[in-house]
A and B are shown apart, each in its own frame.
Chain A
Amino acid sequence: MADTATVGFTTEFYNSLFDVADGEKLKTCLQCADCSGICPFGYLMDFPPGRMIAWMRAGILDEMLESDSVWMCVSCYACTEVCPKGIPLTPGLMTRAKEELLLAGNIPAELQSALEFSQRYGNPLGESPRKRAAWTEGLDFDIPIMRKAKRPVDVLWFVGDYASYHPRVQETTIAFAKLLNNLGIDFGILGPEENSDGDSQRLAGERGLFEMLAEKNGKAFGKYEFGEIITTDPHAYNAIKNEYPQLGIEYPVRHYTEFLAERIEDIKPLLKDNGEKKVTYHDPCYLGRANDIYDAPRALLEAIPGVEIVEMAHTKSTSLCCGGGGGGMWLDGFQWEKGEVRLSDWRVKEAVTAEAEVLAVACPYEPPRFEDSTKTIEGAEKITVRDILELLIEAIE
């Protein structure tokens, strides 16, 4: 089996990279190694992006299939952002490399379960698909589920995996529900008809699974009438905005920070002054670098009375990944074994240095990751991790 997989592998792999948008730029690589240097896990990789390109040019990349260190890539776009030649390193090279590893059966066990769960239950957590809307129980107002509501809505809220099932992230989800309710937004959710957006599975090399999940979501979208899609999940946002259209699934989509920033004047009168607070904001990779949204989240934070924004050393386009992207959410054990480091620890240390009292986030991967790190990083004991939505709701209630 290994023979057929590796015959002409380097050539085939190299040629396949030109199918990715801007893939031809690969030919212009200067071997400056900025990509490998900026990569938060580059020092742990046998094949950081720059070396992968060098070995490919030498025609000897077959060896990469034997290494598992490509799985350290968290698809954070740091390499893509700094590349002076604009080579699509994250969406092209690194994602294609993971696809090849997966096809060769070189896949860490913990990632395998997340992919199997996604295929089977439509979410990587292995939770019951029937309970996707269970978080709505116990609210004192109704969350319309499209199948039951049977009417068009202005806004279809794509809730997403962690926002639906993870007990900590559900708090953020409920905060958004309250906010939408407060603002009188006409919205609905898909409930059990919603499947994982599939983006992190795609970036973890499972393109086929991504397509399967996208098709299921596309089918559900097609059943209902709505003006636009909104989501609290930058990964879902990225998938629906940039990837689904390639599969013929085209809908306008916005992240909640854009959606709310547009309504900032309606929100401001609702916000009370809860005292002064130093808040630092962590730019999620798939909101910031991948989609250039830096101002809307900060505008929301600035609207909260008493909030003083302090920036961390890495901010906006240089933001540090929380470690959860590109399959990292399902590789914690593997990554720990490789390097005995957590990217979330590094980030929380920066929040300590910035003397922040609150670490504000805007992605469902982050509250559990950063909260874990505040428990172990010295000086972080008093830092609270809050999604912007939670800060808004705390200022309203």
Chain B
Amino acid sequence: MKNIVAIVKMVPDLVEELEINEDGTDLDRDWLRLIINEFDNHAIEQAILLKEREGGEVTVIAPEAEGVEDMLFTTAAKGADRMIKLEGDFEDGVNNHALARAFAEKTKSYQPDLILTGVQANDDLDGSIGPLVAEYLGMPYVGYISGVTIEGEKALVKKEYPGGLIGEMEVTLPAVLGIQAGEEPPRYVAISKVRQMMKTSEIDEQEVPELDSSGGIAANRMYLPEAAERAEMIEGDEGEIAAKLVEIFKEVGAL
């Protein structure tokens, strides 16, 4: 195993309430707080675990976004060897088709044996990144992975199925894997180590001259879930509430 590339992105952090833009077609990005996609964070952990076990180099690639530098320095403190920030017209959000084309193009130059990415993200409107990247690079893709072992030219992967089933399969390398969970939860690195990385390591900024979003979808309307009917709150003291409940139970035929 020589080259592992993790392709990751920042996504809306749901700690803040989301707001819709004036056109009603997208999130209001002025107010968004961003966070590393949780599944991508697991992909990074899996990449570092593989490096520690099998050797090789880990490259992390992410498009520019608020907070992306901090995230990349954190991956360096965890053990990533190279950090790439893609620069271009990402500010207003891009679809996954455009992002996957940019990832595929940039990833090529690192001659990856293995590309890891999160199996999904909360802002995937036009499919997940992994299969798109695999298609553009002509590589095999397996998603919902929770374990990776390298055996020569092949990877033995654990794929999660609904109902708690796990399948084991062999994939010929190079391949793209959509990570559901790393073999270990993402590790903690002390802030002092991250700050050290900020002083001693550098993020390689690479320009993406053009974003091709063809094949994606256009949102006609984006809106918050609308409440259909609200619950009725029964007021009164214990006796009154009990009497009202009995009445309702009789009404619906439960008593």
Contact surface of A with B, Cβ cutoff 8 Å: 1, 99, 102-103, 105, 107, 109, 112, 115-116, 119-121, 126-128, 130, 206-209, 211-212
Q: Are A128 and B15 in contact (CB under 8 A)?
A: yes
Q: Which one, B16, B185, B191, contacts A119 given CB within 8 A? A: B191
Residue B188 at the A interface, CB < 8 A?
A: yes
5 tightest Cβ-Cβ pairs between the two chains A and B: A208-B191, A208-B192, A112-B188, A209-B191, A128-B15
A121 to B188, CA, bound (A): 16
Residue B255 at the A interface, CB < 8 A?
A: no
Q: Which one, A121, A206, A208, contacts B195 given CB within 8 A? A: A208
Contact surface of B with A, Cβ cutoff 8 Å: 15-17, 35, 52, 185, 187-188, 190-195
A119 to B188, CA, bound (A): 12
Q: Are A103 and B193 in contact (CB under 8 A)?
A: yes
B16 partner residues in chain A, CB cutoff 8 A: 128, 130
Q: Are B190 and A206 in contact (CB under 8 A)?
A: yes
B15 partner residues in chain A, CB cutoff 8 A: 121, 126-128
Which single residue of chain B is at the shortest CB-CB distance from A205? B190
- Once A126-B15, A128-B15, A128-B16 are accepted as A-B contacts, the answer to whether A102 and B188 lie under 8 Å apart by CB is yes
Q: Are A208 and B190 in contact (CB under 8 A)?
A: yes
B192 partner residues in chain A, CB cutoff 8 A: 103, 207-208
- Once A120-B35, A126-B15, A128-B15 are accepted as A-B contacts, the answer to whether A212 and B191 lie under 8 Å apart by CB is yes
Question: How many CB-defined contacts (below 8 Å) exist between A and B?
Answer: 36
Nearest CB of B to A110, in Å: 11
Sampled A-B contacts (24; CB under 8 Å): A99-B190, A102-B188, A102-B190, A103-B190, A103-B192, A105-B187, A105-B188, A107-B188, A119-B191, A120-B35, A121-B15, A127-B15, A128-B17, A130-B16, A206-B190, A206-B191, A207-B192, A208-B190, A208-B191, A208-B192, A208-B193, A208-B195, A209-B190, A209-B191
Nearest CB of A to B29, in Å: 16
A121 to B192, CA, bound (A): 18
Which single residue of chain B is at the shortest CB-CB distance from A113? B188
Which single residue of chain A is at the shortest CB-CB distance from B17? A128
Which single residue of chain B is at the shortest CB-CB distance from A107? B188
Nearest CB of A to B68, in Å: 14
Q: A126-B15, A212-B191 are in contact. List 12 more A-B contacts (CB 8 A).
A: A103-B193, A105-B187, A105-B188, A107-B188, A119-B191, A121-B15, A128-B15, A128-B17, A206-B190, A206-B191, A208-B194, A209-B191
Nearest CB of B to A13, in Å: 16
B187 partner residues in chain A, CB cutoff 8 A: 105
Nearest CB of A to B184, in Å: 10
Q: Are A115 and B35 in contact (CB under 8 A)?
A: no
Nearest CB of A to B232, in Å: 24
Which one of B15, B17, B195 has the highest number of Cβ atoms from chain A below 10 Å of its Cβ? B15
A102 to B194, CA, bound (A): 13
A336 to B52, CA, bound (A): 33
Nearest CB of A to B37, in Å: 14
A109 to B188, CA, bound (A): 9
Q: Are A109 and B191 in contact (CB under 8 A)?
A: no
A121 to B193, CA, bound (A): 19
Which single residue of chain A is at the shortest CB-CB distance from B195? A208
A207 to B188, CA, bound (A): 14
Which single residue of chain B is at the shortest CB-CB distance from A108? B188
A128 to B35, CA, bound (A): 13
Which single residue of chain B is at the shortest CB-CB distance from A213? B191
Which single residue of chain B is at the shortest CB-CB distance from A210? B191
Nearest CB of A to B16, in Å: 5
Q: Which one, A1, A116, A128, A212, contacts B188 given CB within 8 A? A: A116
A130 partner residues in chain B, CB cutoff 8 A: 16
Q: Are A115 and B188 in contact (CB under 8 A)?
A: yes
B194 partner residues in chain A, CB cutoff 8 A: 208
B195 partner residues in chain A, CB cutoff 8 A: 208
Nearest CB of A to B35, in Å: 7
A115 to B188, CA, bound (A): 9
A115 partner residues in chain B, CB cutoff 8 A: 188
B190 partner residues in chain A, CB cutoff 8 A: 99, 102-103, 206, 208-209
